[in-house]
Amino acid sequence: MSGRGRGRHSDARANPWHGGGRGRGRGSSGAVAPTPTQTPAHSPPPSVSASSSSAPVTPLSSEMEQKLTLDATPVAVVASESKPASSKAVRFQQRPGFGTIGRKIQVRANHFLVQVSDRDLHHYDVAITPEVASKKIHRDVINQLVHLYSETHLGRRMPAYDGMKSLYTAGPLPFSSKEFVVKLVENDGRAAGPSTSKSRKKDREFKVALTLVNKPDLYQLQQFLRSQHVETPQEAIQVLDVVLRATPSEEYTVVGRSFFSTKLGPKGSLGEGLEYWRGFYQSLRPTQLGLSLNIDVSARSFFEPILVTEFLAKHFSYTDRSKPLPDRDCIKVKKALKRVKVEVSLRDWIKNEEVKRTYTINGLSAQPLAQLRFTCEDEITSVAQYYRKKYKIDLKYVAWPAIQAGNDSKPVYLPMELCSIVSGQRYTKKLNPKQVSNLLRATCQRPSDRESNIKQMVRRKIENRDDRESLIRREFGLQVREEMALVKARVLPSPLLKYHDSGREKSVYPQMGQWNMTNKKMVNGGKLEFWVFVNFSSLYQESCVQFCEDLVNVCNSKGMDFFRDPLLPLESYHPGQIERVLRDIHRLTFKKGRQLQLLIVILPDFSDSSYGTIKRICETELGIVSQCCDYQKVKKANRQYLENLALKINVKVGGRNTVLNDAIQRKIPVVTDQLPTIIFGADVTHPAPGDDSSSSIAAVVASTDWPEVTNYRAIVSAQPHRDEIIKDLYRSHNSEKGLVHGGMIRELLIAFYKQKRLKPSRIIFYRDGVSEGQFSQVLLYEMDAIRKACGSLEEGYMPKVTFVVVQKRHHTRLFPADHNNRDQKDRSGNILPGTVVDTEICHPTEFDFYLNSHAGIQGTSRPAHYHVLFDENRFTADGLQVLTNNLCYTYVRCTRSVSIVPPAYYAHLVAFRARHYVEGESSDGGSTSGGGEQVLRALPEIKENVKEVMFYC
């Protein structure tokens, strides 16, 4: 073996690189896969891989613990969760300097600087008894406490309360611990229903104990912001964040870090009983400029405040009140309305009073309303008779079940037609494509409009100097500037892309993040001999034949060797025959003794599930690579669509579309200079909202074609529900033959070696989908898994690793400094592709940057945020920024640069593809009871010949 990596092995036949078999055991890093006696009794739960059986995950190696901590003391690990005992102990990569490459410009960022005066901060623990879950009641209790005792017991302080266990003041209270009694007046009015009591006002008494916990230090915060202190003073930032969020948390509906209200803009309909509300996101962040308040406009889906019967008509198209709801439909209704609050308001004519009460829906009655009976005044009566006698209402929806509130032992049944959905309840389940489209259409704003709306939101917060929010800000010495931060930026040059020399254009410099295939041929055109075409749409045979001919012609004109005759005659079938047809095609091609390279499928006219069915059967059962075509686009079959299909087909048969010229010339620092480099992308996708039992899916891709780094092999694995740490990066277990190694990293490293006959000496790991609060856990666990996977392949094998988190779900937006200057924006009015920011609004000490690598199409572009957590390859700021930007031009599915680095993008695609493999195995949407059984199901194994190409594109 001629690899340049560390630690060659003298006997190639015994090296696991060659066979992908069992390794001997250890690397010099101390990353030794443990024997059973070394494994903690409560080690992390095993993951389930598509490639092989699972095994307990090993604990962190001591080498990784020491390497990633501030001192030499190993970080303790909670083995059951694979988390460090203290996330504060982890020290992330420090900034190596600032970038200089590119044209210098200025951009505006939706960051508003916050000036902090010196205050004596105090943190008090809040204990409210009796305990209640509602944050609104918590806030009402504390507000009443401040109202009653501010002058007498609180030293006239105006505290900031987080709604849970913490209260903060800008100065000491006159005590270190004290208990108060607070009474809230509540309306306990009860709605109509069997055995309910009359409406009445009552006082509810609470005891509130305030106890001094500590005194957060603003001096440490100032030192940190000046880069004179390494550890982030999270507590001081938390105090100031609570201060800035105190008033909006009381005035508006809170969703995470966002606030929504009909006062913040007009609401609109999403269809099917849902509407959207406008609001704003707010977060206090430490930056190089100091503390910054990141504010962005947003929108979320809410239930419309309508009758439940109206909701069923809109959401499920249930309108015939004379027909009972089938059992399967009752299940859907229960899932849609579980935990939704409804209000019933009626007049009791016997007592001549209005009764009103709010209930929480827990389910539906097992019987239709007409059959529900209960005992009232020693007589058995029906619910319908009860409402007719007491409220003079003739119920109309008696064939439908009643809403069940209360609990199973003491249920309260309410007629649907009398229940109104309470306003302001967020809809947390997955929106359908039409609703998503409506939400995007309603909220999509041009950059200039979005910037204007953000400024207006901030102005509204700041201008009223006499409201409670302003008083609290003044008490804590906070001043928020009204102007957006004007920050330095650079526009990185686009890379030179290489095409085949036989084309009229051998290379191209993209302009404004895009280019086209005119006069160009793919740099490596694939050969497609054995293919089949099948049609499940209503297109006529002649149209299908013409589409096939056009597609073959375009592919060949772009440099592919696409044989004109399919392996089987072109046929059309009914959509209901998909599974049978696919198996017949596989059987017939097998009889011909040919390995089918590609199946081209025209999807049915209308079917949400057919795509997933085709991909699951082809990729996990039959070993067929497929290209699905949209019926509507095939009908038009314009040149652009055919060229896009050609790009996808080429990589699915092993070709390359284009490569970076610098890669061929070996001019990319770190990646292509001398030592072989492998680039990974990793992501974890979680089940849809409302599903609390299905597995999460991890996907990892890795380049296999150094130095070009354009082709990526993919692996997927199921793991515990909503667990963000990838469990199957490395695993080992003991068998009769000794220690057996496995895992995603190991398999991809072996695949790289089989193709290049070289061992990667460097690893660049782009990790998508990690929030800031998970950085420490993900880095410690996943870096350790990478180390152990490498050590399991060969003793002493330790490639240098760079670990980069890619974030898209953040709220920093960048705008042209002058919207009228064409040199500062693209056609959509967004900042230019290649715009990078690594100063001012970035972290005070750590290695991060914002990169807008793509051209906007509609709305406001979102730059990707790259945060380097660990870097042994010693990238310069320019080196990593230019590499990341250039890679964004190698995405194989289009002739545009993309918004996140392709390996992370591909991992995202693969993880979502794997969702189709398990669809239908569990109930629709999973359990919504909050206690669904979480069963880890293994994913079906992707066939080996499918994994060898970029099947997911």
Task: Say if residue 77's pLDDT is above 60.
Answer: no
Task: Say if residue 485's pLDDT is above 70.
Answer: yes
The answer to whether 923 and 901 have CB atoms below 8 angstroms apart is no
When pLDDT is averaged across residues 384-393 and rounded to a whole number, the result is: 88
Task: Say if residue 22's pLDDT is above 50.
Answer: no
Task: Say if residue 3's pLDDT is above 50.
Answer: no
Q: Look at residue 736 in the predicted model and tell me its pLDDT.
A: 85
Q: Look at residue 826 in the predicted model and tell me its pLDDT.
A: 95
When pLDDT is averaged across residues 132-154 and rounded to a whole number, the result is: 94
- CA dist 100 and 113 (Å) reads 25
Q: Look at residue 443 in the predicted model and tell me its pLDDT.
A: 82
Instruction: Name which residue leads in pLDDT, 296 or 1.
Output: 296
Q: Look at residue 549 in the predicted model and tell me its pLDDT.
A: 96
Q: What is the pTM for the complete model shown?
A: 0.89
Task: Say if residue 924's pLDDT is above 90.
Answer: no
Task: Say if residue 190's pLDDT is above 60.
Answer: no
- CA dist 384 and 372 (Å) reads 8
What radius of gyration do the chain's Cα atoms show? 31
Judge residue 512's burial from the number of C-beta atoms within 10 Å of its C-beta, 0-12 exposed, 13-18 middle, 19 or more buried: middle
- CA dist 132 and 129 (Å) reads 8
Q: How far is CA 378 from CA 195, 369, 375, 412, in A?
A: 12, 21, 6, 18
Q: Look at residue 464 in the predicted model and tell me its pLDDT.
A: 62
Q: Look at residue 192 in the predicted model and tell me its pLDDT.
A: 42
Judge residue 482's burial from the number of C-beta atoms within 10 Å of its C-beta, 0-12 exposed, 13-18 middle, 19 or more buried: exposed
Q: Which helix (H) or strand (E) holds 454?
A: helix 447-463
When pLDDT is averaged across residues 870-894 and rounded to a whole number, the result is: 98
- CA dist 329 and 335 (Å) reads 10
Q: Look at residue 465 in the predicted model and tell me its pLDDT.
A: 56
**pLDDT tens digit sequence for 785-838:** 999 999 999 999 999 999 999 999 999 999 999 999 999 999 999 999 999 999
Number of residues written out for the chain: 953
Residue of 697, 723, 597 lying closest to 652 (CA atoms):
597
Q: Which helix (H) or strand (E) holds 412?
A: strand 411-414
Two tokens, residue 812: 């920093």
Query: 219: pLDDT confidence band, cut at 50, 70 and 90?
Result: very high
Query: 603: pLDDT confidence band, cut at 50, 70 and 90?
Result: very high
- CA dist 813 and 74 (Å) reads 39
Highest mean pLDDT among 75-89, 197-211, 761-775: 761-775
Query: 186: pLDDT confidence band, cut at 50, 70 and 90?
Result: low
- CA dist 771 and 517 (Å) reads 38
The answer to whether 624 and 586 have CB atoms below 8 angstroms apart is yes
What secondary structure letter does DSSP report for 617?
A: I
Q: Look at residue 841 in the predicted model and tell me its pLDDT.
A: 98
Q: Look at residue 30 in the predicted model and tell me its pLDDT.
A: 34
Instruction: Name which residue leads in pLDDT, 609 or 680.
Output: 680
When pLDDT is averaged across residues 887-893 and rounded to a whole number, the result is: 98
Please give the share of the chain, as a percent, with pLDDT higher than 90. 75
Find all residues with CB under 8 Å of 837, minimum gap 6, and list them.
107, 109, 487, 488, 489, 814, 849, 850, 863
Please give the share of the chain, as a percent, with pLDDT higher than 70. 87
Task: Say if residue 557's pLDDT is above 80.
Answer: yes
Instruction: Name which residue leads in pLDDT, 125 or 29.
Output: 125
Q: Look at residue 925 in the predicted model and tell me its pLDDT.
A: 37
Query: 9: pLDDT confidence band, cut at 50, 70 and 90?
Result: very low
**pLDDT tens digit sequence for 58-73:** 345 555 555 554 333 3
**pLDDT tens digit sequence for 158-179:** 999 999 999 999 999 999 999 9
Q: Look at residue 85 in the predicted model and tell me its pLDDT.
A: 40
Task: Say if residue 496's pLDDT is above 80.
Answer: yes
Query: 935: pLDDT confidence band, cut at 50, 70 and 90?
Result: low
When pLDDT is averaged across residues 463-491 and rounded to a whole number, the result is: 87
When pLDDT is averaged across residues 114-135 and rounded to a whole number, the result is: 94
Q: How far is CA 612 from CA 328, 440, 585, 628, 912, in A?
A: 23, 25, 18, 10, 10
- CA dist 432 and 215 (Å) reads 48
Query: 13: pLDDT confidence band, cut at 50, 70 and 90?
Result: very low
- CA dist 364 and 331 (Å) reads 9
Q: Look at residue 931 in the predicted model and tell me its pLDDT.
A: 45
Query: 445: pLDDT confidence band, cut at 50, 70 and 90?
Result: very high
The distance of Cα 111 from the centroid of its chain, to the nearest Å, equals 23
Task: Say if residue 156's pLDDT is above 70.
Answer: yes
Bridge partners, residue 112, by sequence: 293
- CA dist 433 and 271 (Å) reads 11
From 50-64, 405-419, 679-693, the region with the lowest mean pLDDT: 50-64
Instruction: Name which residue leads in pLDDT, 923 or 935.
Output: 935
Q: Look at residue 68 in the predicted model and tell me its pLDDT.
A: 54
Task: Say if residue 7's pLDDT is above 50.
Answer: no
Instruction: Name which residue leads in pLDDT, 654 or 194.
Output: 654
Query: 50: pLDDT confidence band, cut at 50, 70 and 90?
Result: very low
Query: 442: pLDDT confidence band, cut at 50, 70 and 90?
Result: confident
Three-state SS annotation for 862-924: CCEEEEEEEECCCCCHHHHHHHHHHHCCCCCCCCECCCCCHHHHHHHHHHHHHHHHHCCCCCC
When pLDDT is averaged across residues 653-662 and rounded to a whole number, the result is: 97
From 84-93, 241-250, 565-574, 928-937, the region with the lowest mean pLDDT: 928-937
Query: 42: pLDDT confidence band, cut at 50, 70 and 90?
Result: very low
Judge residue 632's burial from the number of C-beta atoms within 10 Å of its C-beta, 0-12 exposed, 13-18 middle, 19 or more buried: exposed
Q: Which helix (H) or strand (E) holds 310?
A: helix 308-316
Instruction: Name which residue leads in pLDDT, 244 or 926.
Output: 244
Q: How far is CA 759 from CA 6, 7, 12, 22, 762, in A?
A: 9, 10, 13, 17, 9
When pLDDT is averaged across residues 412-431 and rounded to a whole number, the result is: 94
**pLDDT tens digit sequence for 606-635:** 877 899 999 999 999 999 999 999 999 999
Q: Look at residue 49 in the predicted model and tell me its pLDDT.
A: 35
How many other β-carbons are positioned within 10 Å of the β-carbon of residue 504?
9
Q: What 3-state DSSP class applies to 497?
A: strand
The distance of Cα 488 from the centroid of its chain, to the nearest Å, equals 29
Task: Say if residue 847's pLDDT is above 70.
Answer: yes
Mean per-residue pLDDT of the chain: 87
